[in-house]
Amino acid sequence: MKKIFLACAAFATMIGTYSCTKLDVPVESQYVKSNFPTTDADYTALLGTIYSNLSSSYAVPYWRMQDMSTDEAILPARDGNFDDGGQYRQLHYHTWTFDHPNVISVWQWGFGGINTCNRIITVINASSSTAAKKASSIAEVRAMRALYLYFMMDLYGNVPIITDFPVTTQPANQPRAKVYEFIESELKAVLPLLPAKSSNAATNVSQYGRPTKGMVFALLAKMYLNSGVYINSNRYQETVAMCDSVQNNTNYFLDAKFRDIFLPTNGPQINETIFAVPYDQQIPGNQFTRFGFFYYLAQAYGFNVGLSIAMSTTPEFYNRFNIPGDDRTKTWLAGPQYYPDGNGGFTSQPVYYPTGTAGVPANTQINIKPDLILTGLKPMDLGNDVLNAQSEGVRSIKYYPDVNIIQATRLNSNDVPVFRLADIYLMKAEAILRGATPTTINGDFQSPLTLVNKLRTRAHAQVATSIDLDGLLDERARELSWEAWRRNDLIRYGLFEKEYPLPVAGGKTDDLKMNTDPTRRLYPIPSTELKTNPNLKQNPGY
């Protein structure tokens, strides 16, 4: 089973998601000092709450804050449908406020995960387990706590550093540089105690979805590449060093087929995955098909459930998928539609609108249009007629639709990568373009161009003859679309505030404009936290 670890976690007692300012959190774990677990299976169940919390919001609310605030993803209204109080257009136009639902829920998700990590550390420390078992288990928990804190630092900037359980003092914000330093020190401290990716398949199954040395190296590489943003100091050579540390483990290598990485059957057999969030029909959180598919294709893909027609990408972003032969272009639904081959590709058999679809002539082939044309009648609204407005907007099927999707949950079984080797190649290439010295790994001299062409060759795309920073950003868009890194990339490139206005039909004007204030590079401290904790200070601009 690809989800052995998370399946065990399902039996662990779930802890509610608590904000870091709720100080009277009751201990609800099934484990206390008197009955602390002793077997590996018991430990797995204990630590499972950390991972069930992670999966609960990573693939929807967290992902929205990272990708729907950019050109990569947009959820327009369709004659008022899918507006949901304006929360999606607020993300698109950078007009969110401190009471935006994702601003609140993702803060609580992140600090709820940190709270759970701290709770588990106290239980482990109080146990009678061997010193070695305590050390290895606590290292795993600290690595996950560092990952949660990185997410919070990246989104909110100056956030509290919380290591106690229970929390007895209202925590105050810490400068982003201090949070960065804490995360770095934690990762370096636990690194020697974490396992490395193995050549043994059974070992990799047990490690899957859990911290490894490779995950620590990848997270440090991400931090160092963004150091100019986080601490106003560039650390590009350290970025290269961390990328090389990943590559020195030859058990990480590119998979032969790009599409295999994201299929519903993905899992520990994917060779380039460094850290992923596992999902299946019992692990809720991945609903990409529910929000971003095209409803009228459902039967062609082998299921018949209620799905959205709303979420897509922008024309400006999709225009980057223009390289001849590139398999990565097949991750989008655009133009005339054909039956899927079940393995990430398409057959030559056209897909027609179901018989009796209102306003659609019989035997009309489904045609998805890249352009998004606003009506000007309602905010960020396309209208809702089937052949025009509903079919506007290229849809992503990077996380290939799961035939096991059911109406009750509409969940996908596709695991969602957080770090993978392709990102390591691209981070290293960018660091070198920004001034770091190229290195040789296992006899392979790696220039930015050779690193990019490794990915293009795997995707059967035309190889590049040169690469610069602008081209590398486009390559990151093609390779890492919908993997929750676009906001991070655009901020690092100084392009997060760039406007890409959508056309309006009939010569009308769109009254909504993007807020281009650079303070929007950080989200606000949520209103709920400010009300309950006077020690928290709001970010500038809010």
- Asked if residues 276 and 387 have their Cβ atoms less than 8 Å apart, the reply is no
The crossing angle, in degrees rounded to 10, of helices 469-480 and 448-458 is 30
Task: Please choose, from the candidates 494, 483, 517, the residue with its C-alpha nearest in 3D space to the C-alpha of residue 434.
Answer: 494
Give how many domains the chain has, as a whole number: 3
Neighbours of 333 (CB within 10 A): 21
- Asked if residues 407 and 290 have their Cβ atoms less than 8 Å apart, the reply is no
Task: Please choose, from the candidates 529, 519, 525, the residue with its C-alpha nearest in 3D space to the C-alpha of residue 538.
Answer: 525
Percentage of residues of the chain with pLDDT beyond 90 = 81
Residue 78: inside a domain: yes
Question: What's the predicted TM-score (pTM) here?
Answer: 0.93
> What pLDDT digit, counting tens, does each position of 330-363 carry?
999 999 999 998 778 899 999 999 999 999 999 9
DSSP 258-323: GGGGGSTT-STT-TTEEEEE--BTTBTT--HHHHHS-GGGTTTTT------S--B--HHHHTT---
- Asked if residues 386 and 358 have their Cβ atoms less than 8 Å apart, the reply is yes
Domain limits at 269? 200-278+415-480
pLDDT score for 249: 98
- Asked if residues 307 and 79 have their Cβ atoms less than 8 Å apart, the reply is no
Residue 294: inside a domain: yes
Query: If residue 379 lies in a helix (H) or strand (E), which one and from where to where?
Result: none
Phi, psi (degrees; rounded to nearest 5) at 341: -95, 0
Residue 220: inside a domain: yes
Question: Any idea which residue has 């901020």 for tokens?
Answer: 491
> What pLDDT digit, counting tens, does each position of 229-281 carry?
999 999 999 999 999 999 999 999 999 999 999 999 999 999 999 999 999 98
Helices then strands, each counted (H, E), the chain? 18, 10
Whichever domain contains 73, its CATH number is 1.25.40.390
Residue 264 sits in the same domain as residue 302: no
Residue 148: inside a domain: yes
pLDDT score for 34: 57
Residue 499: inside a domain: no
Question: Any idea which residue has 């809720």 for tokens?
Answer: 284
Q: Domain boundary at 429, 461, 480, which?
A: 480
> What pLDDT digit, counting tens, does each position of 239-252 carry?
999 999 999 999 99
Residue 266 sits in the same domain as residue 295: no
Distance from C-alpha of 215 to C-alpha of 292, rounded to nearest angstrom = 29
> What pLDDT digit, counting tens, does each position of 370-394 carry?
999 999 999 999 999 999 999 999 9
pLDDT score for 441: 96
> What pLDDT digit, counting tens, does each position of 441-479 carry?
999 999 999 999 999 999 999 999 999 999 999 999 999
DSSP 463-514: PPS---HHHHHHHHHHHHTTSS-HHHHHHHHT-TT---PPPBGGG-------
Q: Domain boundary at 343, 367, 396, which?
A: 396
Residue 283: inside a domain: no
The DSSP symbol for 26 reads -
pLDDT score for 43: 72
pLDDT score for 33: 54
Span 120-128, mean pLDDT? 90
pLDDT score for 342: 79
> What pLDDT digit, counting tens, does each position of 282-306 carry?
888 999 988 989 989 998 998 888 8
Contacts 24+ apart (CB under 8 A), 433-440: 433/467, 433/468, 433/469, 433/472, 434/234, 434/236, 434/469, 435/234, 435/236, 436/236, 436/237, 436/239, 436/240, 437/237, 437/240, 438/240, 439/240, 439/244
Distance from C-alpha of 372 to C-alpha of 316, rounded to nearest angstrom = 10
Residue 241: inside a domain: yes
CA atoms within 13 A on the CB side of 47: 26
Instruction: Report residue 39 CA to chain centroid gap.
Output: 33
Residue 183: inside a domain: yes
pLDDT score for 403: 86
Residue 67 sits in the same domain as residue 189: yes
Beta bridge partners of 352: 365
Residue 93 sits in the same domain as residue 218: no
Q: Domain boundary at 369, 396, 423, which?
A: 396
Residue 189 sits in the same domain as residue 46: yes
Residue 56 sits in the same domain as residue 94: yes
> What pLDDT digit, counting tens, does each position of 38-48 carry?
666 777 788 99
Residue 57 sits in the same domain as residue 184: yes
Whichever domain contains 204, its CATH number is 1.25.40.10
